[in-house]
């Protein structure tokens, strides 16, 4: 029997507010344990939460960006459960009326574009953290994270493969960062997801029983966790068993999923409207203002890159996958006097490989957009060849010549030799030094010419213009 998988994602995006969702405590990451948890965050008796308006407006901004309905009135609810990192015994969330309903995101799949519907996005507070290390066998509780604002973005079960799930997640990641509502830092847990997955025989229309994979914080882990879970479910069904609805945890070290707990149903949480918080109101005037402040969205920017800069869809998609890369590109093109395609190639190729190798984000690149742009100009006016340009790039990366591209090319003597006399001299020397190969070329074995070009390039330390070398060799040997 052939199976298909069905996936729906719940993404928690931490909103980039300075203070918490219902208190004035700082949300800064990395402080010593329990130094950023006030009476409201830990729910001491008698305290009252106050809504952080900024968080609400960020949620509404998200709604506008995905074409959703931003509900004029939404309601906070208490989700009751016991956990050591939740001292007040309930989490403030939204249940019946979330701030955002509907909307969608378009992803690119092997079969073309596909629309993934968004069910809802709601505001809630994060819980604290249990720390199981360094406590001599005890567990510590750090409540700094308690009360951090989260936007939980829930998708419809529209995804049909782990690859589609990753594409959706990346799209969402780019979007929330472009909107500047979430920093997207996955290592710090600012953007994490629960993946719900089920299988069914291909052609079946009803949904199978799902399991939920909790708190995955990397694109690679999402894909791996889903593959394993789908395989596991298929084996269970093929062996005549049934899938149990449960929450499972992906263990990246062992590379498998393990059961964590049975799945709670909504009624287990005894949701009810929080009596301490008034309904959240977002009116037309709020929306008009937010709409006017929306940045250019990633899809629009990608389309503009294709038309304005004459880039391929692939190049444009790569560059707009992160707004910092797109910003870098637009700045570099300006410095490269509009030479967009070569600039795109250099960013997607050389620059990306250096950044990845050194694990540096593009905003901290030692080679600035101005430097790259200037280098592109020197390739264009044939001051340096593409190959030498890579040496120049490496030297710029190391911080030589204070990033002055022309000074660097001069001081290292890297200027391309376009002087025909100098090249002719090198060509004659090579013909004299490799008589057998020269004879083969004369006898009609034209491909041997490549070898001789290589020798001339070697003799000139790569600085001769390869095209000029090629032409001169042909002239000497074949005319």
Residue 11 burial class via C-beta count within 10 angstroms: exposed 0-12, middle 13-18, buried 19 and up: buried
46-73 burial: b if 16+ Cβ within 10 Å, else e? ebebebbebbbbbbbbbbbbbebebbee
Closest distance to ligand ADP from the beta carbon of 208 (Å): 6
Q: CA-CA distance, 427 to 205, in Å (whole number)?
A: 72
317-345 burial: b if 16+ Cβ within 10 Å, else e? bbbbebbebbebbbbbbebbeebbebbbe
Closest distance to ligand ADP from the beta carbon of 225 (Å): 14
Residues 6+ apart with CB under 8 A from 308: none
The partner in contact with residue 198, picked from ligand ADP, Mg ion, none with C-beta cut-offs of 5 to 8 angstroms by kind, is ligand ADP
Q: What is the DSSP string of 84-149?
A: TT-TTSEEEEE-SS-SEE--EEEEEETTEEEEEEEEEEEEEE---EEE-SSSTT--EEE-TTTT-E
Closest distance to ligand ADP from the beta carbon of 27 (Å): 25
Closest to ligand ADP by CB, 62 vs 393, is 62
Instruction: State yes or no: residue 286 binds ligand ADP (CB under 6 A).
Output: no
The partner in contact with residue 64, picked from Mg ion, ligand ADP, none with C-beta cut-offs of 5 to 8 angstroms by kind, is none
Q: With contact defined as beta carbons under 8 Å apart, do 438 and 477 qualify?
A: yes
Closest to ligand ADP by CB, 207 vs 443, is 207
Instruction: State yes or no: residue 9 binds ligand ADP (CB under 6 A).
Output: yes
Instruction: State yes or no: residue 233 binds ligand ADP (CB under 6 A).
Output: no
Closest distance to ligand ADP from the beta carbon of 214 (Å): 10
Coil, helix or strand at residue 6: strand
Instruction: State yes or no: residue 443 binds ligand ADP (CB under 6 A).
Output: no
Closest distance to ligand ADP from the beta carbon of 210 (Å): 4
Task: Please list every residue from 125 through 184 that binds ligand ADP, using CB under 6 A.
Answer: 154-157
Instruction: State yes or no: residue 207 binds ligand ADP (CB under 6 A).
Output: yes
Closest to Mg ion by CB, 10 vs 327, is 10
Q: CA-CA distance, 28 to 19, in Å (whole number)?
A: 8
Give the containing element (helix H, strand E) for 159: none
Closest to ligand ADP by CB, 150 vs 449, is 150
Closest to ligand ADP by CB, 9 vs 38, is 9
Closest to ligand ADP by CB, 121 vs 396, is 121
Closest to ligand ADP by CB, 250 vs 305, is 250
Using the Cα atoms of residue 319, residue 322, residue 327 and residue 332 in order, give the sign of their dihedral. negative
- Interacting residues with Mg ion (CB under 5 A): 10
Query: Exactly one of 61, 74, 196, 323 binds ligand ADP (CB under 6 A); which one?
Result: 196
Instruction: State yes or no: residue 210 binds ligand ADP (CB under 6 A).
Output: yes
Minimal CB distance residue for ligand ADP:
8
Neighbours of 473 (CB within 10 A): 22
Per CB under 6 A, residues contacting ligand ADP are: 6-10, 154-157, 196-198, 207-208, 210
């Amino acid at each position: 029997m052939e199976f298909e998988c069905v996936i729906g994602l719940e993404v928690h995006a931490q909103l980039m507010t300075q203070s918490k969702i219902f208190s004035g405590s700082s949300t800064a990451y990395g402080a010593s344990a329990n130094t950023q948890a006030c009476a409201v965050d830990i729910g001491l008796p008698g305290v009252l939460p106050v809504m952080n308006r900024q968080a609400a407006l960020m949620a509404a901004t998200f709604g506008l960006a995905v074409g959703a309905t931003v509900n004029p009135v939404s309601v906070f609810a208490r989700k009751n459960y016991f956990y050591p990192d939740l001292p007040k015994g309930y989490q403030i969330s939204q249940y019946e009326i979330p701030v955002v309903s509907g909307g969608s995101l378009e992803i690119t799949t092997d079969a073309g574009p596909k629309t993934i519907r968004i069910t809802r996005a709601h505001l809630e507070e994060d819980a604290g953290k249990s720390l199981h290390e360094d406590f001599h066998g005890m567990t510590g509780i750090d409540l700094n994270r308690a009360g951090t604002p989260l936007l939980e973005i829930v998708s419809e079960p529209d995804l049909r493969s782990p690859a589609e799930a990753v594409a959706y997640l990346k799209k969402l990641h780019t979007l929330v960062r472009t909107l500047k509502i979430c920093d997207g830092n996955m290592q710090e847990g600012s953007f994490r997801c629960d993946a719900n997955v089920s299988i069914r025989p291909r052609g079946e229309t009803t949904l199978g029983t799902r399991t939920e994979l909790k708190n995955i914080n990397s694109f690679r882990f999402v894909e791996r966790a889903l593959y394993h879970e789908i395989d596991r479910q298929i084996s269970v069904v093929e062996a005549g068993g049934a899938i149990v609805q449960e929450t499972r945890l992906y263990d990246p070290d062992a590379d498998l999923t393990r059961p964590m707990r049975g799945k709670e149903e909504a009624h287990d949480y005894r949701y009810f409207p929080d009596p301490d918080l008034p309904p959240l109101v977002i009116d037309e005037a709020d929306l008009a203002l937010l709409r006017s402040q929306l940045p250019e969205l990633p899809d629009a920017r990608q389309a503009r890159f294709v038309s304005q800069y004459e880039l391929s869809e692939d190049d444009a998609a790569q560059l707009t996958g992160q707004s910092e890369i797109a910003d870098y590109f637009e700045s570099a093109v300006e410095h490269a006097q509009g030479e967009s395609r070569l600039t795109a190639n250099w960013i997607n190729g050389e620059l990306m490989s250096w950044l990845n190798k050194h694990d540096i984000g593009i905003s901290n690149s030692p080679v600035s957009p101005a430097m790259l742009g200037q280098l592109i100009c020197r390739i264009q006016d044939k001051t340096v060849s593409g190959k030498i340009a890579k040496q120049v790039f490496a030297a710029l990366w190391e911080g030589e010549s204070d990033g002055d591209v022309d000074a660097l090319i001069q001081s290292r003597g890297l200027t391309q030799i376009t002087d025909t006399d100098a090249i002719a001299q090198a060509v004659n020397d090579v013909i004299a030094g490799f008589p057998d190969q020269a004879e083969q070329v004369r006898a009609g074995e034209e491909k041997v010419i490549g070898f001789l070009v290589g020798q001339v390039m070697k003799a000139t330390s790569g600085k001769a213009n390869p095209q000029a070398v090629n032409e001169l060799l042909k002239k000497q040997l074949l005319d």
